[in-house]
Amino acid sequence: MASAVKSNDDWGSHFRLVAADKWKAKSAAMGQAVTDALVEYARPRTGMQVLDLASGTGEPAISLAMRVGEQGHVTALDRSADLLEIARGRAEARGLRNFSIRQADAQSLPFPDEAFDMATSRFGVMFFKDGVAAMRELRRVLKPGARACFVVWGSFKQPYFQSMIGVVLRHAGGPLLPPGGDDPFRFAEAGSLSAVLRAAGFQAVEEQLVTLPWDWPGSVEEVWEYSQQVAAPFRAALDRVPADMRPRIDAAVHEAVGKYFDGQKVAFGAKVVLASGTK
């Protein structure tokens, strides 16, 4: 069993090493359908000024920059300078000149009022410490009539999680997440993200649960190794596994994940929530 991330403070630097070396291309490929769905949902137009919150290694910011054209601009914002440097490199490799990065906290955005035509976030808003405060701050920097569009995880009860961290829990016991820690499933309950958006003052709020492709382009063993290396919210659960139990868990995970392997890829599918609100 690979080493888990040791703390939230290590998340950026650890992920940078993983993404820049072994898993960068395959991780991007697995998430591409979700990225594409969020971009289509957001409906970017040429010339738009777009802010992507919790942008990490650059998606959907890079895809959006390719859509808004040279007349538009996309700012990728994240707390991690290491992740943003990966995003910068990816954008430069595509020759994008309408893309910039900004290190900052979502609850204190370093932009003037009414600066952006659109905002997005892919698997980021679940981790904001004060969701309403962050959304109010986001609403401040949006122009009147601008949309904020998000994708967040649906329930834990879906193949990607159940076949790996779910197997760990069945063998090692204990809670999925530590009390008060990051919760990837914070907005899995229907209407929960909508409630935060409305509390922050957004109008025309909507959300929908959809199932999208979530395919790992490689082996069962690879995706299990990858998932452990980037599973920061599940670190405590992984750390509970005694050394003598690890071979048995590895075998059980390989069996569970193998049900979704077609010989070339592991086709999990992903249940996610698309949500939006308008200023």
Report all structural domains of the chain as residue ranges with CATH numbers, in order of start.
8-278 (3.40.50.150)
Q: Exposed, middle or buried: residue 79 (CB in 10 Å: 0-12, 13-18, 19+)?
A: middle
pLDDT one-digit tens code per residue, 97-147: 999 999 999 999 999 999 999 999 999 999 999 999 999 999 999 999 999
Q: Which two tokens stand for residue 42?
A: 């957001």
Q: Exposed, middle or buried: residue 196 (CB in 10 Å: 0-12, 13-18, 19+)?
A: buried
d(CA 63, CA 39): 7
Q: Which two tokens stand for residue 106?
A: 């979502």
Based on its alpha-carbon atoms, the radius of gyration of the chain, rounded to whole angstroms, reads 19
- Coil, strand or helix: which one is 78? strand
Q: Which two tokens stand for residue 150?
A: 């998000």
Question: Is residue 269 within 8 Å of residue 158, measured between CB atoms?
Answer: yes
d(CA 223, CA 233): 17
Task: Write down the H helix ranges in 43-93.
Answer: 61-68, 81-93
pLDDT one-digit tens code per residue, 241-257: 999 999 999 999 999 99
What was the pLDDT predicted at 82? Answer: 84
In this structure, the strands spanning 215-216 and 266-267 are antiparallel
pTM for the full predicted model: 0.91
